[in-house]
Copies of this chain bind each other. A is one copy, B any other.
């Protein structure tokens, strides 16, 4: 702690934050002159950081500070504060590429690991909470596909020179601690015994064990993990679940950002929509059976991918004569050849997205960090049924992802409760599980 203080770091509380803001014109100006009217509320519900909403009579800002450990675990799990630097960098870079869907950064203090950024006013909420409440967002697919297409296309080799690309890759290589965290909690722990893993027990004891003993699944997870580490395809958000999206939408929290496979972002978003889909049965009641809402989620999944596909290819066509190194115009000099290359590229991203999405679903059922969509289902029996359905779906997608030709196939299978021929919903499973628990 002494060493860190020497570097100019001190963890803020509400009192010292007021003093910090007063001393920082870039922040003070956003609150008008009205600094005596400031009210501060700590709202960090994430796993890692402290987040303050700062309101004055004349304005509002959000202050986010990273502490040198994982907040939800405590100082027994150290975590570099430098993640704030990568978050600020990615917010600025993605914000430049897609200002509509990234909050503006007003101020970044590297020594303090502190970001000051735009406050997104109520009634705007985290998408995950809206999905739990059953709120339909008619523009969600349109906006999120816009965000994904722009941030991924413009940081890929289709658009950039190798020189610019490698510069970015090198910069974000230093965000290695965050990558390691993902490797552990997404690609490793769910497939082995780990003290961090948890699941609805005893209901899913057998299911969690089955994941750890499924060789085919482990091979697929290892392949995705290698891709996650080795493949610097674009500057990805790195944690694009529905809790990282505030409904306008604005995408927040890119502290896991690095040059990685595009499918990791797209898969995170689609996978979390599928999680939300399976959680609906747990939220259904007599007033609302959630059937219409489940249809809307499926439609949003389909549209998100299809719009992403179209927007990405549109950007590609628009910039095909640019400086991008991957598909040179004098090689891809015929429109049918370029079109074939695009189809090939997009189907590969699609399969990657399905794989990463599935891996992220699995880890939310049997790994360390769960999601409110399922956690908020109070009846453990009901929750376990939803979780098992999610898990079975994810396992089947992870193994069979290369067979999908389009998103509609997945959507139909979800409607029919079978994925690649594997039943996802089964009322009998729970009985088996209870029996196992008795043994």
Cα distance, A327 to B191, chains bound together (Å): 11
A171-179, A198-206, A306-314, A385-393: which lies at the B interface?
A171-179
Q: Are A341 and B219 in contact (CB under 8 A)?
A: yes
Q: Are A193 and B337 in contact (CB under 8 A)?
A: no
Closest chain-B Cβ to A175's Cβ sits at a distance in Å of: 9
Q: Which residues of B contact A232 (CB under 8 A)?
A: 169, 230-232
Closest chain-B Cβ to A265's Cβ sits at a distance in Å of: 15
Residues A188 and B331 in contact in the complex (CB < 8 Å), given A180-B163, A326-B229:
yes
Q: Are B174 and A166 in contact (CB under 8 A)?
A: yes
Contact with B along A311-349 (1 / 0, CB 8 A): 000000000000001111011111011001100100000
Asked if A157 is at the interface of the complex by the 8 Å CB criterion, the answer is: yes
Q: Are A219 and B176 in contact (CB under 8 A)?
A: no
Task: Identify the A interface with B (CB < 8 A).
Answer: 157, 162-163, 165-167, 169-170, 173-174, 176-177, 179-180, 183, 188, 191-193, 215, 218-219, 221-223, 225-226, 229-233, 325-328, 330-334, 336-337, 340-341, 344
Give the contacting residue for A230; candidates B219, B231, B331; CB below 8 A: B231
Q: Are B173 and A344 in contact (CB under 8 A)?
A: no
Q: Are B327 and A222 in contact (CB under 8 A)?
A: yes
Give the contacting residue for A166; candidates B173, B330, B340; CB below 8 A: B173
Cα distance, A218 to B169, chains bound together (Å): 26
Closest chain-B Cβ to A5's Cβ sits at a distance in Å of: 25
Give the contacting residue for A180; candidates B162, B169, B192; CB below 8 A: B162
Q: List 20 A-B contacts (CB under 8 A).
A: A157-B226, A157-B230, A162-B183, A165-B229, A166-B173, A166-B174, A167-B173, A169-B232, A170-B174, A173-B173, A188-B328, A192-B333, A218-B331, A218-B332, A218-B337, A222-B341, A229-B325, A230-B231, A230-B232, A231-B231
Cα distance, A330 to B195, chains bound together (Å): 13
Residue of A176, A327, A340 with highest tally of chain B CB at under 10 A: A176
Q: Which residues of B contact A176 (CB under 8 A)?
A: 162-163, 166-167
Q: Are B219 and A183 in contact (CB under 8 A)?
A: no
Closest chain-B Cβ to A263's Cβ sits at a distance in Å of: 13
Q: Which residues of B contact A165 (CB under 8 A)?
A: 229
Closest chain-B Cβ to A252's Cβ sits at a distance in Å of: 25
Closest chain-B Cβ to A66's Cβ sits at a distance in Å of: 19
Closest chain-B Cβ to A211's Cβ sits at a distance in Å of: 11
Closest chain-B Cβ to A133's Cβ sits at a distance in Å of: 37
Closest chain-B Cβ to A433's Cβ sits at a distance in Å of: 24
Cα distance, A188 to B337, chains bound together (Å): 15
Cα distance, A158 to B126, chains bound together (Å): 39
Closest chain-B Cβ to A41's Cβ sits at a distance in Å of: 37
Q: Are B337 and A215 in contact (CB under 8 A)?
A: yes
Q: Are A330 and B218 in contact (CB under 8 A)?
A: no
Q: Are B191 and A331 in contact (CB under 8 A)?
A: yes
Cα distance, A334 to B191, chains bound together (Å): 13
Task: Closest B residue to A167 by CB, please name it.
Answer: B173
Q: Which residues of B contact A162 (CB under 8 A)?
A: 176, 179-180, 183, 229
